[in-house]
Amino acid sequence: MPKRERVSARVRRILGLVFGMVCGALLLPGVVDVWIDPSGHTYLSDSEGPPAPGARRVAPGDLRLEWGGDVRGEPLAGPASTSSDGDRYLRSVFGARDDVRRGELQRALRTLRRLFASHPERAEAAYLLALVERKRGRLEPARDALETVLTLAVELPEEWREMATRLLAEIEDELALARDSEAGMWSTKSLVTPHFRISYDHQFAGREYGAMVAGMLERARQHLSRVLGRELSEPLEIRLYTRAHYLAAYQHRFGFSTVGFYDGAIHVVSARHPREELYALVVHEYAHAIFADVLGGHQPFFLNEGIAEREEAAARGHERMPRGEWRRLLDAERSGDWIPLASILRGFGGLEGRRALLAYLESRAAVELIEDRQPGAIARWLARCARGQPWQHALRAEVGWDLEALEGALRDAVRSRFLPDPLTSSG
C-alpha cells in the first residue's frame, strides 16, 4: 500500500474480516490515521504527512462531545459525498455527533450502535458511543465500547490510545464508586477556605483532592471577578459528586441531562483526578451565583444562562461561537423553531432535548451580541442592576436595547452571517 494513497475499500474489507487475529495487524505497514482535507474528503493513511494538500489528522479531540451541545474546537465539516466506504462511515459518525449536539440523542445512539457493530475495526464510532453512554450515566456500555477500541487489531494512533485508556480508567473508578454507594460506603469530607465551603463524597479522596479543588475554585473566582467585576459577599458552598451519585440524586430534577447546577450552592460532577473540565463547570455555576447575588434570583433566565454559557466556553478555550452554532440558529429562525426570548425569561422549564439546547444557544448568542456591541457591557449591566436599576432599563442604558429590540437585533445578526435563502427570497 503506497504511503500517500487512500486506503482502498478492498483493504478495509480485509481488515474487517481478520479483526481480532494477529495477521490483521500484519496487513498494515504502520499506524493508520484518519485525515480530512479542506473540501471535506476523508482518508485513511499510514503516511507521516498529509495524504492530500491541506489535509489534517482527525484527533480524538475533534470528535469529543461535551454535554449541552458543545464540541471541542471548530465543528468538522462532514466528508464530501463519495462512494468510499470510509467516507460513508465517517459521514455517519459526524452525523451522529451532530444529532447529539441538536439534542436528538436516541437517533444518535441508534446510529453509533449500528456503526459500532458493523465496523469493529474502526475506533471513531466506539469512541463517541462511549462518550455518549458515559454522559447518560450508562457506565457499563461505555466501558465495553472503550475496551473494544483498545483491543483493535489495527494499531491505533497514540493520541487515540491515550485518550481511550484515560477515559476507561475514569469509568472504572466511577463503577467502583457506584458499587460502594450501593453498599452504603459513602463518606463525606469537607474543607473551608476564605471564599468557599467545600464538601465531597469521594471515599478515596483526601486532603490532596480538597486542596486541588480549592485551587481550581479560587482560579474561577479570580477570573470572574476580573471579567464580570463582581465578588460574592459570603463564602459559597460547593458540593462535588461522583457521576453515579449525582445521577442517582438529581437525574429526575431536570428535563435534560446535566452535570451541575446552582441552587444557592454549586453542585457539580467530579472525577477522582479533577481536570480542566471541572474548572469549566465551576466557572459556569459560579457565574450563576454572581448573577443571583446581583439580581436576587435567576431572571432574566436567558441572560443568566447566556453569561454562564459564554464564560464556560471561554474556560474551554472557545472565546467565540463557531459558525456551525450560528448556522443552527439560522435554521431555527428560517424553520419557525426559534424560541422567543420573552418565553424563556423565567426559565427553560418544559423544554427538552434539542429545544433545550436551542434555548442555551440563543442565550449565549444574545450575550455575545451584547458584548460585540459594547465590550464590557455585561459587567457594567450587572453593576447597574446591583445599584437597583430594573434589568431592562440597565440594558437599554448600556446598549440601547430593551427585550424586544434585543430579540430583533439577534435575529438580524443571525441572518446577516449567511447568504439569503433563494427559496424564500424574492428575485
pLDDT in tens, 73-125: 222 233 333 445 557 888 888 888 887 776 677 788 888 888 888 887 788 88
Name the burial class of residue 39, with classes exposed (0-12), middle (13-18) and buried (19+) by CB atoms within 10 angstroms of its CB: exposed
Contact indicator for 90, 7 with CB cutoff of 8 Å: no
Go through the domains of the chain in sequence order and give each one's CATH number: 9-179 (1.25.40.10), 187-291 (3.40.30.160), 298-427 (no CATH)
How does pLDDT run across 151-188, given as a tens digit for each residue?
775 666 777 778 788 888 877 776 766 665 554 545 66
Average pLDDT over residues 33-61: 57
Average pLDDT over residues 261-277: 80
Lowest mean pLDDT among 17-26, 283-292, 353-362, 411-420: 17-26
For 215-284, the three-class secondary structure string (H helix, E strand, C coil) is HHHHHHHHHHHHHHCCCCCCCEEEEEECHHHHHHHHCCCCCCCCCEEECCEEEEECCCCCCHHHHHHHHH
Looking at residue 156, what DSSP letter applies? P
Average pLDDT over residues 394-423: 90
Question: What is the pLDDT at residue 317?
Answer: 83
Task: Give residue 138's Cα distance to chain centre.
Answer: 18
Mean residue pLDDT across the chain: 75
The amino acid at 424: T
Question: What is the pLDDT at residue 402?
Answer: 94
Instruction: Measure Cα distances from 220 to 223, 266, 314 in Å.
Output: 5, 13, 12
Q: Is a pLDDT exceeding 70 seen at residue 258?
A: yes
Q: Which of 26-40, 161-175, 335-349 has the highest mean pLDDT?
A: 335-349
Q: Is a pLDDT exceeding 60 seen at residue 20?
A: no
Question: What is the pLDDT at residue 300?
Answer: 94
Question: What is the pLDDT at residue 23?
Answer: 34
How does pLDDT run across 148-159, given as a tens digit for each residue?
778 775 666 777
Question: What is the pLDDT at residue 2?
Answer: 44
Cell of 341: 426570548
Q: Is a pLDDT exceeding 70 seen at residue 329?
A: yes
Question: What is the pLDDT at residue 203?
Answer: 56
